[in-house]
Amino acid sequence: MDVLIRYGFSMEEIKNMMENNTEIESIPDKNIYEMIDILGSVGCLSNHIKNIMYSNPYFLSKNPKDIKKLIQKLLSLKLTHLEILFDTNPYLLNSSETEIQKIIKQKEKEGLKEEEIKDYFYYHSDEIF
């Protein structure tokens, strides 16, 4: 949890995050650093990362390997600007690679083309989660 203080969160912000996700207290700093690095690897800046973690503290409890798989799935759709996608809908990070695949299949069945499915994730992903 010390990493959150070093990352610039106030004690009040950390308290609010912990009220939403009681597991935060037991998450090793190493894991939080890894999550920060993962977000940074897709272009998230410090302000994006802070917004994502504050808005969706459950993200910190996820397995970093699962987050990497999710990101790989999103990148396989040729989605760009994941930093904006995650900043505008941080709850997308709570989904799994499998859930994303189901959404893609569903949208294909509805007749959406690849470009329309990409747009769906940018403009309607808040409906998913």
Distances (CA, A) of 33 to 7, 27, 29, 40: 10, 11, 6, 10
Residue for token digits 């808040």?
A: 126
Question: For residue 41, what pLDDT is reported?
Answer: 96
- The percent of residues above 90 in pLDDT, for the chain, comes to 80
Question: For residue 36, what pLDDT is reported?
Answer: 96
Contacts of residue 85, Cβ cutoff 8 Å, sequence gap at least 6: 74, 79, 92, 121, 122, 125
Ranges of residues in the chain with a pLDDT under 50 are none
What is the distance between the alpha carbons of residues 31 and 84, in angstroms, rounded to a whole number? 23
